[in-house]
């Protein structure tokens, strides 16, 4: 599949982020814990390389516990702290606490110089549909940021006064012009970071079925009560269609309906906890 989605507003967003870097002390990056590689924009990483980062592995309730711990260990270093998070159970105190911990040295240096540093200021960045808007609404206890299970909701920058010690600058989700590999592109598409409207959802679902069945043949078997061993993706897809009554006139399988069922249930975690990018 040839997957590419880079609307004009994303180019403007990158330029806007670069111009506002001087306003913040550090950044908070929302990462999809199911795809910790694909959900990190290399253009953002380059722009933010001189800032400390709090890396939030969001949707950790949808990814595998063992893999979550491995990714936390891999992503945490002298510049970045990585933490697990689920927007389903928002915790603003945790974000404030981890932010203060990340910036502890800078706060101490300011205090030693007798400077009143004031509240920490952080820029929130992430790719589309990483859960960024839901994250912000959860920790700020407002509905000021539009949310939805589709990419491209947030279109403007806005400041959120989370706490007297922490202010946040939200930015729109942004992708990059050329994906490094088909695997990166597919993982972004599987998790909904690329609009389904520009995709061939039937082929996308077939690719997801193939990937899930290779990773754990019980995922689809248990959910749809069918045999998956030694089955081709198209055969599994057709069997799901029969099980779910997804048929057209003439008793033909409604492949589009089946595709949407599989993609939707994967994205919502109905199939179980799945980490697509594994260590």
**Residue 156, annotated ligand binder?**
no
**Residue 145, annotated ligand binder?**
no
**Residue 11, annotated ligand binder?**
no
Compute the distance between CA of residue 211 and CA of residue 228 in angstroms, rounded to an integer. Answer: 12
How buried is 196 (Cβ within 10 angstroms: 0-12 exposed, 13-18 middle, 19+ buried)?
middle
Structure tokens at 244: 């779910």
Same domain for 231 and 125: no
Same domain for 148 and 244: no
**Residue 86, annotated ligand binder?**
no
- The answer to whether residue 28 is domain-embedded is yes
**Residue 272, annotated ligand binder?**
no
229-278: per-residue pLDDT in tens?
889 999 999 999 999 999 988 889 999 999 999 999 999 999 999 999 99
Domain that residue 244 falls in:
200-267
Compute the distance between CA of residue 31 and CA of residue 206 in angstroms, rounded to an integer. Answer: 25
**Residue 131, annotated ligand binder?**
yes
56-88: per-residue pLDDT in tens?
999 999 999 999 999 999 999 989 999 999 988
**Residue 16, annotated ligand binder?**
no
195-240: per-residue pLDDT in tens?
888 889 999 999 999 999 999 999 999 999 999 988 999 999 999 9
pTM: 0.88
114-154: per-residue pLDDT in tens?
887 789 999 999 998 898 989 999 998 764 443 344 444 34
Same domain for 204 and 166: no
Same domain for 165 and 93: yes
- The answer to whether residue 93 is domain-embedded is yes
Same domain for 127 and 76: yes
- The answer to whether residue 276 is domain-embedded is no
Same domain for 207 and 160: no
Same domain for 117 and 17: yes
- The answer to whether residue 249 is domain-embedded is yes
Q: What's the CATH number where 166 sits? A: 3.40.50.300
Same domain for 78 and 19: yes
**Residue 77, annotated ligand binder?**
no
Same domain for 164 and 212: no
Q: What's the CATH number where 250 sits? A: 1.10.1580.10
**Residue 173, annotated ligand binder?**
yes
Over its C-alpha atoms, the chain yields an Rg (Å, rounded) of 20
Same domain for 43 and 151: yes
36-52: per-residue pLDDT in tens?
999 999 999 999 999 99
């Amino acid at each position: 599949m040839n997957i590419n989605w880079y609307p004009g507003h994303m180019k403007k967003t990158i330029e806007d982020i670069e111009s506002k870097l001087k306003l913040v002390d550090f950044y908070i990056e929302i990462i999809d814990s199911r795809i910790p590689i694909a959900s990190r924009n290399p253009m953002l990483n380059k722009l933010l390389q001189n800032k400390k980062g709090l890396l939030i592995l969001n949707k950790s309730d949808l990814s595998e516990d063992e893999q979550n711990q491995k990714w936390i260990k891999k992503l945490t270093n002298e510049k970045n702290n990585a933490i697990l998070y689920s927007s389903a159970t928002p915790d603003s105190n945790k974000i404030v606490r981890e932010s203060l911990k990340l910036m502890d040295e800078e706060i101490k240096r300011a205090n030693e110089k007798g400077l009143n540093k004031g509240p920490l200021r952080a820029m929130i960045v992430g790719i589309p549909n990483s859960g960024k808007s839901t994250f912000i609404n959860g920790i700020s206890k407002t509905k000021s940021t539009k949310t939805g299970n589709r990419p491209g909701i947030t279109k403007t920058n806005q400041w959120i006064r989370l706490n007297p010690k922490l202010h946040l600058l939200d930015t729109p989700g942004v992708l990059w012009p050329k994906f490094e590999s088909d695997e990166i592109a597919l993982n972004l598409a599987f998790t909904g970071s690329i609009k389904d409207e520009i995709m061939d959802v039937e082929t996308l679902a077939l690719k997801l079925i193939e990937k899930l069945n290779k990773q754990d043949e019980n995922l689809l078997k248990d959910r749809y009560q069918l045999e998956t061993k030694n089955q081709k993706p198209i055969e599994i897809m057709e069997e799901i269609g029969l099980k779910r009554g997804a048929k057209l006139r003439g008793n033909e399988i409604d492949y589009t309906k089946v595709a949407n069922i599989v993609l939707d249930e994967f994205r919502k975690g109905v199939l179980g906890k799945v980490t697509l990018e594994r260590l």
